[in-house]
Amino acid sequence: MTDQTLICQDVSHFGNTLKEMRILDDKIIYALNNSLPTASFTKDRTELTATCRNLSNQVHQTFESRRKFISGCIEFTQRKIDGATESSTKRNLRLKLRLIENENSVEDVVQNRTNKVLQERCRDYYNSSL
């Protein structure tokens, strides 16, 4: 069994893992405040562009890894449902599947919020396809 398989079996562990994976999103404003000076402390524009590009790349890599993680757990749980024979087991697995699928909606909100903050702070230095 892989680590992801073990995580997907326990909804609580799944939620805690996603929480850890969302640390960068939770601290995006702090990261931007540390990386980008205010107008009165302007750095070299190329350095600011590189900082925004690097942060944007890092953020989008975490987006992708979380989506893969959520999709993997959805697929794993769906396979468990397909292989289950008892109705109570199937019912419990369907509930777990709905909880995991709900994380896709949460992920949309998290990504939109992070993209908005990144775009607002980096728009003068870097324009990525957010």
Contact assessment for residue 41 and residue 114, using Cβ atoms and an 8 Å cutoff: no
Q: Which two tokens stand for residue 117?
A: 């903050």
Give domain status of residue 55, yes or no. yes
Residue 70 one-letter amino acid? I
- pTM value is 0.85
Closest CA to 57 of 128, 9, 5: 128
Residue 98 one-letter amino acid? R
Domain of residue 40 covers 3-122
107-111, long-range: CB < 8 A, 24+ apart = 107/63, 107/66, 107/67, 107/70, 110/22, 110/25, 111/25, 111/63
Give domain status of residue 14, yes or no. yes
Greater model confidence, 120 or 126: 120
Contact assessment for residue 79 and residue 106, using Cβ atoms and an 8 Å cutoff: no
Give domain status of residue 13, yes or no. yes
Mean pLDDT of 95-116: 95
Q: Is the pLDDT of residue 27 over 60?
A: yes
Give domain status of residue 82, yes or no. yes
Check residue 129 and give its pLDDT: 58
Instruction: Count the domains in the chain.
Output: 1
Range from 13-22, 27-36, 99-108, 120-129 carrying the lowest mean pLDDT: 120-129
Mean pLDDT of 27-39: 79
Give domain status of residue 128, yes or no. no
Closest CA to 117 of 33, 51, 12: 33
Give domain status of residue 130, yes or no. no
Q: Is the pLDDT of residue 130 over 70?
A: no
Greater model confidence, 130 or 75: 75
Give domain status of residue 129, yes or no. no
Q: What is the pLDDT of residues 43-69, one digit of tens each?
A: 667 778 888 899 999 999 999 999 999
